[in-house]
Chain A
Amino acid sequence: MSGQKSSNDMRIKSLLDILPSKIAYAHCDIPCGIYDPHQAQLAAHTVIRMTQLLSEIKRDNETKAEHDIARMTHVKEQHSDIIEEELNTLRDDYFKEEHFKQYPNLNDLFVKTLKSVGKARQNIDMVAAQEALAGIQEVAEVFFKTKGVEPVRVKSVYPTGGEIVLYK
């Protein structure tokens, strides 16, 4: 039975791929107009930090190691969720059709970045975590440009090093 269910799921997934997609709104009550890519950048640095710490776990005390792994993985999951939610909000609520026309690579950038976030979430993968941050920073630069301010990269003060994108 489960084989039949998964085969039905596969058929439906194929339908999802074939059918053209339209937009349906699950409208929120209050379009607040307050958007900022900062939260996604902070969350991406957190995912990088958790990836670092998970790679450095020492196994000399097995109970402590398991406890720490559980906590770090949980934080990595939570912050991956934050990134996905923040990116989806920027893509679906903030950026408008004219922005996607003006920056034709923007949609691909979102897709690529969200894939990296997924990889960083599923694995202890520093390359994917860094790619996620790099993608978010590119999105942040486009965001600030659409706001009419000049984006600037500054050195982060986090243990992860690297940069964050702010504006002048």
Chain B
Amino acid sequence: MLLLARFRIVGHSMEPQIKTGETILASGIPYWFKTPKINDIVAFEEKGDVLIKRIVRIAGDRYFIQGDNKKDSLDSRKFGFISRKQILGKVFYK
């Protein structure tokens, strides 16, 4: 889990909220006290890359994440639920 990290976004799947080239801040600290909830935008690890998506469904400690730009997003619709361990932090500033 992250303390605090700055990321530059590459890709269009979170448009219009977050556009490619924009910089965001993410931190794992909010999840020290609360569990991730629906509508949170999270940074998570998937096959060695850090990805940014929104949580749309929760089943126990598994999270179904999706891009806001549903027509053009590689997300849980393709690779399934992600686990709590994969979530690095909450996006809290852009």
Residues of A at the B interface (CB closer than 8 Å) are: 12, 15-16, 19-30, 84-85, 88-89, 91-93
Docked CA distance A84–B12 (Å): 13
- The residue of chain B having its C-beta at the shortest distance from the C-beta of A92 within the complex is B10
- The residue of chain B having its C-beta at the shortest distance from the C-beta of A19 within the complex is B6
CB pair B13 A22 closer than 8 Å: no
5 additional contacts (CB under 8 A) given A21-B6, A22-B6, A29-B78: A15-B6, A16-B23, A24-B26, A30-B72, A92-B20
Which residues does chain A contribute within 8 Å of B52, judged by CB atoms?
A: 24-26
3 closest pairs, A vs B, by CB?
A24-B7, A26-B11, A19-B6
Residues of B at the A interface (CB closer than 8 Å) are: 4-15, 18-21, 23-26, 43, 49-53, 67, 69, 72-75, 78, 93
CB pair A28 B72 closer than 8 Å: yes
Given contacts A12-B25, A22-B50, A91-B21, whether A27 and B73 have CB atoms under 8 Å apart is: yes
CB pair A15 B25 closer than 8 Å: yes
Which residues does chain A contribute within 8 Å of B25, judged by CB atoms?
A: 12, 15-16, 19
Docked CA distance A11–B13 (Å): 28
Which residues does chain A contribute within 8 Å of B8, judged by CB atoms?
A: 21-24
